[in-house]
Structure 1
Amino acid sequence: MCEIVVYNILISYLLFFSLDVLAQVKNPKTAKTLLPNAEANEEIQLEKKEPESFSQLRLIMENDAFGGFSDRYYTNGTRLEFNTTASESNVTRQIFGVWNHLFIPKTEDTKYLMGITAGQEFYTPTNIRKADVSFGDRPYSSRGYVGNTLTSWTESSSVTTELELGMIGPSVGGKSAQINFHNLIGSPTPQGWDTQIPNSYSIGVNTDVRKFWHKYFGTHYNINLGNIYTNASVGVILRFGNVDQNPGPGFSALMPGAPILQIPGKGYWYFYINPGSTLQVYNATIQGQIGSDKTYKNQSRSSSLGDWDGFLKSPTYETGERELLYRTLSEDNGRNALRRFIIFNEFLVKGSSNPYDFGTNYLLFNIIFNGAEDIERLFKLVLIKSISDNWEALPENARIMALYSLFRPKGGEQPAFVRYYAYEILSQFILDPTQRSALLELLRQEVEFREDKTYTGDLKRAVGFFRAGFVSVSEAGFLFSLNYNYQSIDFQSAKGLPQQHQWLGFQLGKVY
């Protein structure tokens, strides 16, 4: 019921500003007809200074698949905008105009564009084949929003301020959207969306400031305040091409900035580079919503098997060596599964009374130490053959564990009882009865603690970025832009994870 109420508020919000937009497009200039002659003449003079009314559409799309880059971290973003000239009576201009004028002074030549926006963003960890989150990796999260913007711009400067309302969490639909897209293009099905940051509502105010001191050199500032992002960015813009000091459109769906800034009948084009840095204070797509009790944090896979000495209370030489072994097995950075399976097979199969076949032992390793990673089709056939040949010798819990692991639905999580069975089966042959009871009791408590919760991470405060691309706005108002983005990671990662990410994006638009 709460979600329905919020969505109705958002729809009413958009409808209100849409009616205001339509009123402007239909009658962009107003004049007082019942004024005395002196006032009428003054009104006419003011009216002549109002720029001609125009409207525009802009679409921004970004994806790390566009450049053939690795599918991780910020993986997809889309933003759609409608902008139109804002008259003095425009509600958005009256509200945001005062704030924008703190950054650029109001002059007779200042132009104003009011916009309505909608967008979404998806984030994933390094290895999307895993049903569990790899601790120390970026959490799954999805975000959707609608917004209202005002851009104030002069010959060499622009300020865009946006008020946005939206949601973060499963209700945004990131899971189904990415699974369907990956199935369409033949990419691996992401398995871990059930661990994503939980539902919460969002509100934010964002301001983007661009000032060009020379047609080839400008500065760029961005401030975000809200319960999704609170951060500040600064950068420089270097460009070359057929352009004057027009600040031009923004570069990215994450930092969209100004819409199409165009003087009627005058086109321009340029290449640009935009290095800069961001200082993060808060990021809900990594940390979860402020005050939420539905998240937990852990920077290493120190589950029940991790702190071996701590809960078994037996600091013998053998136990210390075994703890080191488990820590090595648990250092899952998303890319070293084969090395860790060799260790598992060498010490927990050959080095114990473990009686199980290759297929069962691989499933035990995959569930306990490898994040329940999705198994490729051909390898799955090998495992099925191995398990079927030894089916009669398997106890009931091993059979259930094998069936759920091999045939779980695409994109589905590994059930808690299957994980419990995996620990129970493995512990039978590597622990004495007292140790096994302690292990399984701790595992039960851990499952209860994490039930209905999701993993979150810690921020990396300073983030560097580099953008480059090409922008073209024709005399008729057609926008085309191709944008490359490179960024250092924005979270505190486990050892061995990639420390950067890159993606491509494009923009299409038209002024009417």
Structure 2
Amino acid sequence: MRHLACLLLTALTIAPAAAQPAPPPPDPAGTLSLTFENDFFGGGSDRYYTNGFLLSWRSPSVGLPGPFSSMDQELDRLLGPGQVRWGLSLGQNIYTPEETQRRVPDPRDRPYAGYLYGAATVAHTAARTQTLAELQLGVVGPSALGRFVQNNYHDLIGVARAEGWEYQLKDEFAATLLLERRWRVPLGQIGGIEAEAIPAVTAAAGNVATYAAAGALFRIGDGLDADWGPVRIRPALAGSGAYQPRQEFGWYAFVGLEGRAVARDIFLDGNTWRDSPSVDRRAFVGDIQAGVAVMWRGVRLAYTQVVRSEEFYGQRGVQSFGSVSASVRF
């Protein structure tokens, strides 16, 4: 009996270490991604979250600058063996009410707002986990150029201008700190087709957005270990800016769910320290998304269709929009 107990203890001690997969190999390439989101892909409603743009860069995981090299060693000690990447992003989001032809917007409708920001990101990726920290700094208000971008683009494509931008949120310095943790959970393989789940939890705090989120992405395809899902503009199941293919061609289809408990949303609650338009924000918001991604010779293309639940009381139905993302490794 004692001998059997010793064998069992030995198995429990050794088996997890033996079963633990290796972390991603060193990667000398960085990734440049361009993401565009618009409600044109959801029926052309031109309302609420109407447009988003994100240009992002993720570094190689080797040859890190001094501070990131030291961080790499410390994160390996805290989180286990893995790779560290740093990143920079530039983005703009545009929000409008439903009735954009009113010169004086309905005070019960979502306010006009633009958000222009830069972000710095550090991510630690192990075999089955990814931990990410991101700091966004920017501006909300006229200086974010929401009116300029939307109305000039509408002029270009021959669509009527939005008339109520004079009532947009006022200029305000914007800061948000975001922390996220993801897990890779293999679900099996049949005939070369892999399946996995990627649960994720996120916490964000700042004068732009304060929320806690939980969700999961479910994927089937070939070459899933190349990334953690396609790039998205937050708040969202945001995937990974970097991707590291292990084969020439890969693909996957996916569905995802995320729920957010929202304590602050400046685009609904209005300016922090000044009077501005605002609406009665809902405390819980959910997203459903589905799409497909293709990776070939260092290029990743992805499309995501998103349905978002009502974000404020008085909103007339859910919102649907699409996200197109293109990434290149070099």
| Fold similarity call, TM over 0.5 | yes
Instruction: Tell me the distance in 2 between the aligned counterparts of 1:482 and 1:50.
Output: 27
Higher helix share: 1
Residue number in structure 1 paired with 2:215: 235
Aligned-residue sequence identity (percent) comes to 23
1:169-318 superposed matches below 5 A: 169-214=141-186, 215-245=195-225, 247-254=227-234, 255=236, 256-265=238-247, 267-292=249-274, 294-295=275-276
- Offset at 1:248? 2.3
- Offset at 1:135? 2.1
Among 86, 101, 106, the alignment partner of 2:80 is 106
- Offset at 1:202? 1.1
**Residues 233 and 96 (structure 1), Cα distance of their counterparts in 2 relative to 1, 3 Å cut:** farther
CA contact (8 A) 1:146 1:164 kept: yes
Deviations 1:119-170 (A, max 9, x none): 0000001111111121221111110101111122133332222112100000
Instruction: Tell me the distance in 2 between the aligned counterparts of 1:206 and 1:224.
Output: 4
Instruction: Tell me the distance in 2 between the aligned counterparts of 1:505 and 1:243.
Output: 22
Instruction: Output the TM-score relative to the length of structure 2.
Output: 0.82
**Residues 212 and 489 (structure 1), Cα distance of their counterparts in 2 relative to 1, 3 Å cut:** same
CA contact (8 A) 2:216 2:258 kept: yes
Partner SS for 1:85: coil
CA contact (8 A) 1:210 1:247 kept: no
Residue number in structure 2 paired with 1:56: 31
Query: Aligned partner of 1:482: which letter?
Result: Y
Higher strand share: 2
Deviations 1:250-299 (A, max 9, x none): 4421233421321454542110000121110111111123232x32xxxx
1:425-440 superposed matches below 5 A: none
Deviations 1:93-126 (A, max 9, x none): 6569868987xx221xx12221111000000011
Residue number in structure 1 paired with 2:328: 510
Look at both structures and tell me which one has the larger radius of gyration over its CA atoms.
1
Query: Aligned partner of 1:277: which letter?
Result: G
- Offset at 1:188? 1.9
Query: Aligned partner of 1:481: which letter?
Result: A
- Offset at 1:90? 4.0
CA contact (8 A) 1:279 1:462 kept: yes
Query: Aligned partner of 1:82: which letter?
Result: W
Partner SS for 1:114: strand
Query: Aligned partner of 2:51: which letter?
Result: N
CA contact (8 A) 1:152 1:158 kept: yes
Residue number in structure 2 paired with 1:14: none
CA contact (8 A) 2:176 2:204 kept: yes
CA contact (8 A) 1:96 1:161 kept: no
1:334-349 superposed matches below 5 A: none
Partner SS for 1:276: strand
Instruction: Tell me the distance in 1 between the aligned counterparts of 2:175 and 2:132.
Output: 17
Unpaired stretches in structure 2, ≥5 consecutive residues: 1-23, 187-194
- Offset at 1:52? 4.1
Instruction: Tell me the distance in 2 between the aligned counterparts of 1:131 and 1:247.
Output: 45
Instruction: Tell me the distance in 2 between the aligned counterparts of 1:257 and 1:223.
Output: 15
Residue number in structure 1 paired with 2:54: 79
Instruction: Tell me the distance in 2 between the aligned counterparts of 1:468 and 1:274.
Output: 6
Instruction: Tell me the distance in 1 between the aligned counterparts of 2:75 and 2:139.
Output: 25
CA contact (8 A) 2:230 2:302 kept: no
Partner SS for 2:155: helix
CA contact (8 A) 2:198 2:218 kept: yes
**Residues 481 and 52 (structure 1), Cα distance of their counterparts in 2 relative to 1, 3 Å cut:** closer
Deviations 1:292-343 (A, max 9, x none): 2x32xxxxxxxxxxxxxxxxxxxxxxxxxxxxxxxxxxxxxxxxxxxxxxxx
Residue number in structure 2 paired with 1:456: 278
Deviations 1:169-222 (A, max 9, x none): 001111111011111122221001111110010111112322121142221222
State yes or no: 1:65 paired with 2:40.
Answer: yes
**Residues 118 and 98 (structure 1), Cα distance of their counterparts in 2 relative to 1, 3 Å cut:** farther
Among 129, 134, 145, the alignment partner of 1:157 is 129
Instruction: Tell me the distance in 2 between the aligned counterparts of 1:235 and 1:100.
Output: 26
CA contact (8 A) 2:230 2:293 kept: no
Residue number in structure 2 paired with 1:134: 106
CA contact (8 A) 1:230 1:283 kept: yes
Query: Aligned partner of 1:149: which letter?
Result: T
**Residues 53 and 246 (structure 1), Cα distance of their counterparts in 2 relative to 1, 3 Å cut:** closer
Instruction: Tell me the distance in 1 between the aligned counterparts of 2:196 and 2:233.
Output: 23
Instruction: Tell me the distance in 2 between the aligned counterparts of 1:257 and 1:75.
Output: 21
State yes or no: 1:477 paired with 2:298.
Answer: yes
Indicate the RMSD between aligned Cα atoms, in angstroms: 2.4
CA contact (8 A) 2:57 2:241 kept: no
CA contact (8 A) 1:274 1:466 kept: yes
Instruction: Tell me the distance in 2 between the aligned counterparts of 1:463 and 1:247.
Output: 26
Residue number in structure 2 paired with 1:120: 92
**Residues 51 and 76 (structure 1), Cα distance of their counterparts in 2 relative to 1, 3 Å cut:** same
Instruction: Output the TM-score relative to the length of structure 1.
Output: 0.54
Instruction: Tell me the distance in 2 between the aligned counterparts of 1:84 and 1:212.
Output: 22
Instruction: Tell me the distance in 2 between the aligned counterparts of 1:139 and 1:159.
Output: 34
**Residues 288 and 212 (structure 1), Cα distance of their counterparts in 2 relative to 1, 3 Å cut:** same
Unpaired stretches in structure 1, ≥5 consecutive residues: 1-48, 296-454
